[in-house]
Amino acid sequence: MAGSLLIASFILTIFLPVAVSDDRTALLTFLTGLTIPSGRELHGWNSLINICNWTGVSCHSAPPPHRVMQLDLSDRGLCGTISPALANLSSLQVLDLSGNLLSGHIPPELCSLSNLRQLSLSSNLLSGAIPSQFGFLNRLLYLDLGGNRLSGEIPITLFCNSTLTAKSLQYIDLSNNSLSGEIPLFRGNEVCELDISLRFLLLWSNNLSGEIPPSLANYSRLEWIDFESNYLNNALPLHVFDKMPSLQFLYLSYNNFSATNVGPFFTSLSNCSQLQELELSGNGLNGELPASIGNLSVNLRHLHLQQNHFAGSIHPKISNLVNLTYLNLSNNALNGSIPLEIGGLRRLERFYLSNNKLTGEIPLSFGKISRLGLLDISGNELSGWIPDSFASLPQLRRLLLNGNRLSGQIPPSLGKCINLEMLDLSYNQLTGNIPAEVAGLQSLKLYLNLSTNMLQGNLPSEITKMDMVLALDLSQNNLSGVIPPQIGRCLALEYLNLSMNSFHGQLPSSVGSMPSLKVLDLSSNKLSGGMPESLQSSSALRQLNLSFNNFSGVIPENGVFSLLKGSSFMGNAGLCGGHLDGIIKPCETERARRRRNIWKIVLFVVGTLCIFLLFFFGLSMVRSSDGRGRCRLPSFRRRVLADVDADEEFNFNHCGDYYPRLSYRQLLEATGGFTDTSLIGSGHFGRVYKGTLSGGAKVAVKVLDPKPGTAAVSESFKRECEVLRRTRHRNLIRIVTACSQPDFKALVLPLMPNGSLERWLYPGDQARRRPELSLEVMLKVASDVAEGMAYLHHYSPVKVVHCDLKPSNVLLDGDMTALVADFGIARLVHLGAAGGDIVGDVASLATCISTTGLLHGSVGYIAPEYGLGDHPSTQGDVYSFGVLLLEIITGKRPTNVVFHEGLTIHEWVKRHFPGNIESILMQHEPSPLNSPSPAAQHDPFDCKKHKRDVILELVNLGLACTQYSPSMRPNMIDVALKLTILKQDISSVPRFARDC
């Protein structure tokens, strides 16, 4: 097609003026580099009609006629590259190719379009640098290159006059790219001739660093400044924005600005009388909110100050901002009470105060903010009753009061909030019944959460009026009575949690008939009867937990029941079903029941005779124990996964006959009586002792302490035995043998000469880390751990979620090979019917809770989704590994005081990365980025740069693994591969350079 069009173009040159022919040729050449999706064809471009009638083409009506004035092909799904031939459209004023899939570089030839007034190439896949020649387009008014993959520095010519002809550029959008360097308002030490026509400057979501240039103050006509999501640092400027009387929008959020007193900055903004929106969230701002906050523009509508370190009380002067519609002060350290003057913000629509340290009662003045649609004051320390004044808010749609210390009853007046879509009162100390007025709120469309309070009484029948609500959580209360059958009228309900209450009676079949229900948790109640057929007939139900009730009968095998494990039904003595991994007893046939009754009679008779004989012959026939019984390896005949042989017994003696079965006395002698001198570690479930067997072998004996609870310890012991028995990898600890008695349980492991990784990272009173833990060793240890975790997640015969990966659970052998250890709270997984992982104990719908009732893992290493109720997952292990990797690099525990100030280790590292990488490296040794050794200084290999590149890669990997969203994290196969490549990269470096 392109060839025929070029031939047609050649024919038309006979009849058309030369300039018009050039325009046609330029457009057809541009077309040859494009791929046009089906159904989006460009009308006229494949014909000989006048080019002014082609799709997206407009021509001049005045002389010169038929010259292309505008080319607009935005949002047409075009692929390909931008042809330099477009530079031949010499009369072009508007070029808009935005919203396509164009790739490659921006042709510098476009800079010859001297008549161009608007250039928009946004939302494509363009890469490379911005041509500096764009600064010579003196008629250009509008430049939009946002939403691409552009890199390099911003050309200074965009901001400064380089010719005697004045420029008129008013709009610059370079946002959402990968541009780096500083905002270019300087040339050396000299301020360039500024183009003061600029009104809109959008640079958000790049990699820009440095400070906001003071010369920005010369752009006095600026109305919109957006520098959000960069790496700009230093203090907030005091004499820049006060020179901009027309400024309306100022976005500086998510940078690295710091200030201990924001009062002068707010004062400087008081001159911006047109300011409508101010965003400073996600920076390092601290100190108190000053009185000068009330001097901001009376026109201010949006104020974002969340995710900083503001402390002290909320200054009452904030009520001067009478036109505010959005106020966000969440995730700070504000304390004191909420000022009554807050009721003066009559136009406020959304108000966020969550995750602070506010105390006192909820002020009644909230009832005066008649336009309030969202109020979030969750995660504070508020007390007292919920005020009735909320009933005066006709626009209230979302009310979040969870995570406080509120007491008293739920006010029935909340039922007057007829537009309420979301109500969360969970994790308080509320008492009394659930008011019928609240249970009957038909406006609720998202969720009603009253969990973890002290509510009592029956479930109101009015709750069936909530036919649009998606989630209902009433768990962990004292509710009783029967579950009303009318609950099936909640047709939109997807999540229903009534666990940990005292509901009794049968489960109504209408529950299983709810068409949208996906998750149902009725555990820890007093429900009885059989399983309604409607449950197995449900096409939507995916998760079900009926454990710890009084259900009886046969567990079905179809529908959702085919996806569940026995833990979903445990604690129901009357249930049976042989397909549920041995936790639930199999159902007996009538023949087996008769046989069992006969055996009961036989055993009773035989037992009676034996007792009679023993009594007749006396106690001399009874053999007493000599106290020297030997520990037997535990034989667990219960199937843990569907593919495990139920009759298979443990055999831990991997070394043939070298290590015989060990008695308690032998372990006692090997460890010197389990004395403190042989103690090498301790944890929640017990202690670890070093010992020497009679043959001279060095071992570590992990003795489980029964004090925390026999059931918990037994479960941990069985789980660790199960994992160690079924996994074999060079980066996983192996087991020598196990010793199990009713009052003594121990695992015997090889003794690791170099102890745990924690011992090397934090060697106690030593001023520095051990010199052997160089960058090369750090890489080796991290790679070993990743290899072990990748095996557990993806290659092991029984997939394993570790749940507690941290430095103390990483052991180092004699050559510093890292081995992952301690599987006491691990979870075994297998592939579900839908292709996803199902975790042992997970199908119970319980949150990520260990046998001791705590979140799985250790504080600082626990994935954030576990705190929201998600189940153990391989993504959670990836998060823990990321924390471990950042900890190795920084030498800071995730629970360090710096993180107690409100930052996770991910956030703390990200604040300093990549611009200030030296500040996050380990403090107790010289920086790996110091100058090379003398030997390396004479070699062309740049040691310092190479080490920096490797550390940057490691930090990037740690940040990727600790992303908040589990779906954004890599899997351990990719992590292990990345570390292997880095390790090979380091090993290929000359030895002297590695030591530099």
The answer to whether the CB of 556 falls within 8 A of the CB of 532 is no
Q: Is 804 a catalytic residue?
A: yes
Across the strands, what pairs with 682?
687
Closest CA to 241 of 197, 179, 297: 297
Helices (H), 618-756: 664-670, 710-726
Tokens 């009062």 label which residue? 263
SS3 label, residue 545: strand
How, if at all, do strands 837-839 and 94-96 pair?
unpaired
The DSSP secondary structure of 364-385, one letter per residue, reads GGGGG-TT--EEE--SS--EEP
SS3 label, residue 837: strand
Q: What does the alpha-carbon distance between residue 217 and residue 90 come to, in Å, rounded to a whole number?
A: 36
Helices (H), 499-582: 509-512, 533-537
Is 947 part of any known ligand binding site?
A: no
DSSP 145: -
CA 44 to chain centroid: 50
Q: What does the alpha-carbon distance between residue 954 and residue 680 come to, in Å, rounded to a whole number?
A: 31
End-to-end CA distance of the chain: 62
Q: What does the alpha-carbon distance between residue 185 and residue 203 come to, in Å, rounded to a whole number?
A: 14
SS3 label, residue 819: strand
In angstroms, the Cα distances linking 19 to 16, 46, 367 are 8, 20, 70
Q: Which of 96, 784, 804, 822 is catalytic?
A: 804
Looking at 308-401, which runs of residues are DSSP E strands? 309-312, 326-328, 333-336, 350-352, 357-358, 374-376, 383-384, 398-400
Query: What six digits make up the tokens of 181?
Result: 């360097």
> Which residues have CB under 8 Å from 851's CB, separation 6+?
709, 711, 712, 715, 716, 825
CA 122 to chain centroid: 29
Report whether the peptide linkage leading into residue 485 is cis, meaning its omega lies within 30 degrees of zero: no
DSSP 962: T
The DSSP secondary structure of 94-130, one letter per residue, reads EEE--SSEEEEPPPGGGGG-TT--EEE--SSEEEEPP
Three-class SS string for 265-330?
HHHHHCCCCCCCEEECCCCEEEEECCHHHHHCCCCCCEEECCCCEEEECCCHHHHHCCCCCEEECC
Q: What does the alpha-carbon distance between residue 941 and residue 953 come to, in Å, rounded to a whole number?
A: 19
Closest CA to 574 of 596, 602, 546: 546
Amino acid at 996: C
Closest CA to 138 of 170, 167, 171: 167
Annotated binding site for ATP: 702
Known binding-site positions: 702
- Residues labelled catalytic: 804
